[in-house]
Amino acid sequence: MIIATNNQGKINEIKKIFHEYKIHSLKEKGLNVDVLEDQDTFLGNAKKKAKEIYEIIHEETIADDSGLCIKALDGFPGVMTHRFLGDNATDRMRNEYLIHEIDKYNDRSAQVICSLVYYNGTKFIEAEGVLDGFISRECRGKNGFGFDEIFELPNGLTLAELSPKEKNEISARAVAIKTLKKRLESHNI
């Protein structure tokens, strides 16, 4: 199977959790493709990525889209999590912006949502994972990527303060992958 992403953090997480399957990144297959995420849902973006990559390489494809949804900001940044400050913004710039924005509100609750799909050229198999938490008051932790350093769990630790193993047991992506694995097995894939 091919993972339809160039994000090394996602590749590492998916390969660790999906260890029973032979998974290849786009780079390992010699592809330098970046699918435009222009859909208005995580599931829409995941399906678009899976289908476009499948049409190039004609191999079973796994794709995801995930993001941070902050309750007080009406779900922002949502599907724009990686792009809301433009293509040149760093994770730290986005995280500091979100901390500044959420400081205006009492409610710091947020969710990480991950939509994950498998596509074999004829059908999609879908899964979703959700992780509830809060936006921290500062960036904390050195592990992870994206918004991990500001997504605080109910135990007070950010995702970036967890070990990769600990994160892979609870993350929205881990939940989605485990669900997808069960669905693939029920389809004898």
Q: For residue range 10-22, list pLDDT tens digits in order.
A: 888 788 877 888 8
Residue whose entry in the numeric block shows the structure tokens 């010699």: 30
Helix axes 8-17, 172-186, angle to 10 degrees: 50
pLDDT, residue 21, reads 82
Q: Is 38 noted as a catalytic residue in this protein?
A: no
Most confidently modeled range among 123-127, 142-146, 163-167, 173-177: 123-127
Which H/E stretch holds residue 62?
strand 61-70
CA 188 to chain CA centroid, nearest Å: 25
Q: Which of 65, 91, 132, 148 is catalytic?
A: 65
